[in-house]
Amino acid sequence: MSISRPTVRAAADAPFLVAARGGLPSRRPVWIMRQAGRYLPEYRAVRQTRTFLQMCYDADAATEVTLQPIRRYGLDAAILFTDLLVPVPPMGIELAFDPAPVLKRTVRTRADVDALRVPDPERDFAPMLATAAQVRAALSPDVALIGFVGAPFTVACYLVEGKGSKNWDLARRLLHGEPATFDALLAKITDALLPLVQALADAGCDAVQVFDSWAGVLAAGDYVKRCAPWTERLLAAARQRGAIAIDYVNGATQHVAAMADSCAEVLAVDWRSDLGFFRRQVPATKALQGNLDPTALFASEADLRSQVRACCDAAGPAGHVFNLGHGVLPETDPDQVRIAVDEARRAWP
């Protein structure tokens, strides 16, 4: 299958792109992590007749749910509906969502690592790339399209443990106990994801976000030496293809120095950190994205508005993309999201 090359892209003055390059856009750009999700009734309607993975592999369904929050809230960026584990089956490991991810095998030895396959994007990720092209064609030029992949460490966590874990002790034990195997695993995952990052950019994504959802369990030194260099290769690949690189590290505070050194234009900050602290610690050229606590969407309207304002004030007007610091929770009232979006745009010079 040949991937259609999009003729449209977000315009250079789209609020998301201006802010991502550190500038002062016409309004504060807003998008919401996991904005295409179960908190929306229109999402649940599409989801009702399909499994989560079926939706990821169905370009029309994925396009529809990707566009839903743009229609509802007029957001400044769409994020491709997919999952950071979608590359795992083409690497040779069966995957189910129950509803949390469960892998049929784990990867703990050098032989396990060597047995992993490197997917061919145009063959193995055709639905995802088709979704990107369709969504980009449907979006107006003032809205950016964001594609994403998991960071090598985060994907490694699932491959090593086979399912979710609180502290990912087995993954950290492999890092310390079998360093050569751990490094080979991250190299293999990077080999698998790098062509996907390039293909996403080529298929129409204006930006690629690398999700390091589990880097928060790592000591600062281990992250810098053993994990960040692999993430860096994915971020650099996005930039080389002309896409904005966004580095999201969940549990970011101890990794602020490493994030400051990354080549990403945008650092996406989890909800735990103070954005003012990040502003002081990272180069002024870097944009910040985030970082309201998703549970703040359960507060009263006055409290919610006050917290959104505090977040925007800490980030400042230029080079800030308002977002949550983690995915929106399924139990969230969609009207509370509207209030947060409204307040983020209201706080404008």
* Sites of contact with a second copy (CB under 8 A): 164, 166-167, 169, 172-173, 175-177, 179, 216-222, 251, 253-254, 271-274, 277, 293-299, 303, 310, 325-326, 329
CA–CA distance, 151 with 120 (Å, rounded to integer): 18
Task: Return the number of the residue (54 or 109) whose C-beta is nearest a second copy.
Answer: 109
Which spans in 213-331 are helix H? 220-222, 228-240, 256-261, 275-281, 301-315
The answer to whether 269 touches 247, Cβ cutoff 8 Å, is no
Task: Return the number of the residue (9 or 326) whose C-beta is nearest a second copy.
Answer: 326
CA–CA distance, 32 with 143 (Å, rounded to integer): 13
Which amino acid appears at position 152 of this protein?
Answer: P
Cβ-count burial of 324 within 10 angstroms (0-12 exposed, 13-18 middle, 19+ buried)?
buried
Return the structure tokens found at 74.
Answer: 């007029």
Task: Return the number of the residue (159 or 297) whose C-beta is nearest a second copy.
Answer: 297
CB of 88 to a second copy, least distance (A): 20
- The conformation of residue 129, written as its DSSP 8-state character, comes to H
- The conformation of residue 330, written as its DSSP 8-state character, comes to T
CB of 43 to a second copy, least distance (A): 19
CB of 180 to a second copy, least distance (A): 11
Task: Return the number of the residue (71 or 166) whose C-beta is nearest a second copy.
Answer: 166
Task: Return the number of the residue (138 or 224) whose C-beta is nearest a second copy.
Answer: 224
Task: Return the number of the residue (92 or 327) whose C-beta is nearest a second copy.
Answer: 327
Active site residues: 34, 38, 47, 83, 158
CB of 157 to a second copy, least distance (A): 13
CB of 16 to a second copy, least distance (A): 24
Task: Please give the helix or strand (H or E) that residue 209 lies within, else none.
Answer: strand 207-212
CB of 28 to a second copy, least distance (A): 20
Residue 184 pairs in a beta bridge with none
User: CB neighbours of 266 closer than 8 A, spacing ≥ 6?
Assistant: 20, 207, 244, 245, 246, 247, 286, 287, 288, 289, 321
Which whole-number Å values give the CA distances from 42 to 46, 135, 197, in the listed order?
7, 17, 29
CB of 159 to a second copy, least distance (A): 17
CA–CA distance, 204 with 53 (Å, rounded to integer): 22
CA dihedral of residues 96, 99, 101, 105 (deg, nearest 10):
-50
Within a 13 Å sphere around the CA of 65, how many CA atoms are in the beta-carbon half?
28
Task: Return the number of the residue (6 or 101) whose C-beta is nearest a second copy.
Answer: 101
